[in-house]
Amino acid sequence: MYSAEISRRSPTCFLFLIDQTGSMAAQFGEWRQTKSQALADAVNRLLQDLVIRSAKADGIRDYFSCGVIGFGRANAPIDFAWAGPLVNKTIVPISEIADGFIRMDERDRLSLADNGSEVRQRVRMPVWLEPTAEMGQPARGHHNLIARSCELAHEHLKAWILEHPDSFPPTVSLVTDGGEEGGNPQAAARRLRSLHTSDGNALLFSCHISESRHAPLAFPAPGVRLPEPYADMLFEMSSPLPSFIAAGLRSSGTPVSEGARGFVFNAEVVALIQFLNIGTSVGQMGPRSR
């Protein structure tokens, strides 16, 4: 399982579910960025990296398809968050994404050096996703927003899988800063994870970003005591890490126990970047040039 070759004939899919509620306007970490800006920068960077991985002498090869679903905007339905040339698009091949950015911006890009230290660089990068944090959306009912975003993801990924039944299964990365209760998204998450290709079930990874006083926690295994009910819920929603992802994390110095799940609690900027990178690490398995 989780060993299908990635090629133009058999691509894989990455889908991001991103929190756009008003609380995402709060400052995040030590960079004086808002959560929404840090998240948008991280997703834009990943899309750029996927374009680069797909670039060959004859052009951009469609090894990947991607989509970004935003939830929590005031007086707006949960929907795909593309803008500019990709507005009204859903799941899009990487060749179309390559030419579909809104503009080029200068950004402070945070990278990790080989020794694990943070490196901050000023770079030009394409922008596909705008930072959004709309204060008109009440926090109450946050769980319902996540459930409905999982349902929309299920609808579109089910159609994608019908077209790619033997591909590496889709990977969904949910990023949220929490919120008040209102519904339970676990049933919708189970339905999403139940989607499958011949190579395995869809993967759902979850990341909580916050200024919480609780210590950050990355990739816990069952039995680990979590600091609050919201963390328990996101942990239960998340898929176990496939063995090749767990091995990659261990080789980079991140302790990962047997049975660890793709869940990060109380993440800061570096942990957010690492979290999104593990969601797309399948793209580093060496897609065949076919």
Q: Chunked in runs of 10, what are the mean pLDDT values of the chain (290 residues)?
A: 91 96 83 86 93 94 97 88 96 97 82 66 88 68 89 98 97 86 85 98 93 84 88 94 91 90 87 83 55
Residues 6+ apart with CB under 8 A from 46: 14, 276, 277, 280
pLDDT confidence of residue 219: 94
Compute the distance between CA of residue 90 and CA of residue 65 in angstroms, rounded to an integer: 10
| 3-state class (DSSP) for residue 182 | coil
Cβ–Cβ under 8 Å, residues 193 and 154: no
Query: How many CB atoms within 10 Å of residue 158?
Result: 14
pLDDT confidence of residue 280: 82
- Where helices occur in 117-268 by DSSP H, the ranges are 142-163, 186-194, 229-237, 243-251
CA quadruple 114, 240, 270, 95: dihedral positive or negative?
A: positive
Compute the distance between CA of residue 97 and CA of residue 81 in angstroms, rounded to an integer: 13
* Architecture of the domain made up of 12-284: 3-Layer(aba) Sandwich (3.40)
pLDDT tens track for 78-133: 999 999 999 999 999 999 999 999 999 987 666 666 666 666 777 788 999 999 99
Helices (H) and strands (E) in the chain, counts: 7, 16
Q: What pTM was computed for the model?
A: 0.90
Count of all residues that appear for the chain in the document: 290
pLDDT confidence of residue 135: 63
Could you please report the per-residue DSSP string of 34-59?
EHHHHHHHHHHHHHHHHHHHHEETTE
